[in-house]
Amino acid sequence: MSRNYTRLLIVFLVAAVAVPMAMTGGVAALETTDSSDINVGPSDILDDGSSTVDGFEASDDDYSIIELKTDSTNTTDAISIDISAENNTHAEYDDLDDEYTLEEGVDTTDDGSSDADVHTFNVSHADLETVPVEANGETDITIDVTYEYTDGSDTAGTAETSFEAALNATGERTVLYIDNDNLDDDDRGGAVSTTDVEPAWYDYNGETTTQYDLDDEVAVDGSNTTITAYFNGDMATAFEDQLDEDAESGDLVLGHTLATGEDGDLRMEFLGETNEDLVNDSATYGVYDDSSDSLTVEVGDEHADASTVSVRAVSDTPKNLDDGDAFERQAYVNAFADAYSNDAFGFGAMTSSFGWGGALSVLTDGLPLI
């Protein structure tokens, strides 16, 4: 299969004339140039923020070529680019990375002289997988460039620039990137709240914990979409702490709560990969990847006609479901009874997540949760 190269060709000019600065040497000017002035390729991204990457789906088959032009009379000491969105950096590259190549002495003016060095960064779209996107939506990314150099007079300098481009996503992915700032900013994707949870009365060694609750309506293209939330900071720790340390890939995760839809139907969640013995392609369920602190919701056929889906992901399993918590006991009975009867997990795993009373209540559908 041939790779589909999406060319995001960015060309910069670092002027050869250094501007004297007292006590600090000189700094070169950095500006974008018009594509008609060069012969290294067409310029698809300009510093006016008008450029768009179509068909973005974070595929490792798709790449963006970022090219930067510097004056050949300068010696490059370091060059780097940072790609950010919603005030978070999602990809970083510098001249020591394998993704970087340098072509020296390029004739960019077609006058027969070597006037520039061309710096190329080969950016896989898979490196941008954590950039927040909505299914069939558009997300602005910011590209920051820093160029450190020494000119012909042995004067060191730094040039910087920053501009935006847009990722135009397909309907296959909706991505949330969640950190502590989501608690204070309602405009950021991923509405999160916290609750201090006291230990159960029978847990003599228990400590008060902070429970994180992601509850949001997100864009989807029916069941064609997967929804992924990347957790960071304290929230990532809270979700990680509730995992069974002895769990294996494909095991059911009982330490979290996952629900979708207007009725808040509880969904099974698996560690690392789908357990195909318990769910099929038509079901809605979650997969938690502890290597990336991410939860992916596979949207099932019951949401086939939906343009949005309500997602609820809680970093703990409530122990007192019939007394003020979000879900009634019967919801857990419906979600987990079949899995238990299929030996997907044992009673010990239930008690560690739900407590003894909770486990008995879910499994017997007759005792009050404690």
Cα distance between residue 361 and residue 354, in whole Å: 9
Question: Which residue range is the domain that position 16 belongs to?
Answer: 4-169
- Within-domain flag for 370: no
Residues 14 and 135 in one domain: yes
> Do residues 48 and 136 both lie within one domain?
yes
Instruction: Check whether residue 216 and residue 294 sit in a common domain.
Output: yes
pTM of the entire predicted model? 0.80
134 & 96 share domain? yes
More confident site: 252 or 343: 252
Residue 358 lies in a domain: yes
Give domain status of residue 369, yes or no.
no
CB 233, CB 147: distance < 8 Å: no
The secondary structure of 52-101 as a DSSP string is EEEEE---TTEEEEEEEEEETTSEEEEEEEEEEETTEEEEEEETTSTTEE
pLDDT tens digits, 344-357: 555 555 555 555 55
102 and 130 co-located in one domain: yes
User: Over the stretch 248-268, which tens digit does the pLDDT of each residue have?
Assistant: 888 888 788 888 887 667 788
Considering the domain architecture, whether residues 153 and 264 belong to the same structural domain is answered as no
Q: How many domains does the chain have?
A: 2
Residue 207 domain flag: yes
> Are 230 and 289 contained in the same domain?
yes
Q: What is the pLDDT at residue 326?
A: 45
- Please give the Cα distance from 8 to 80 (Å, whole number): 16
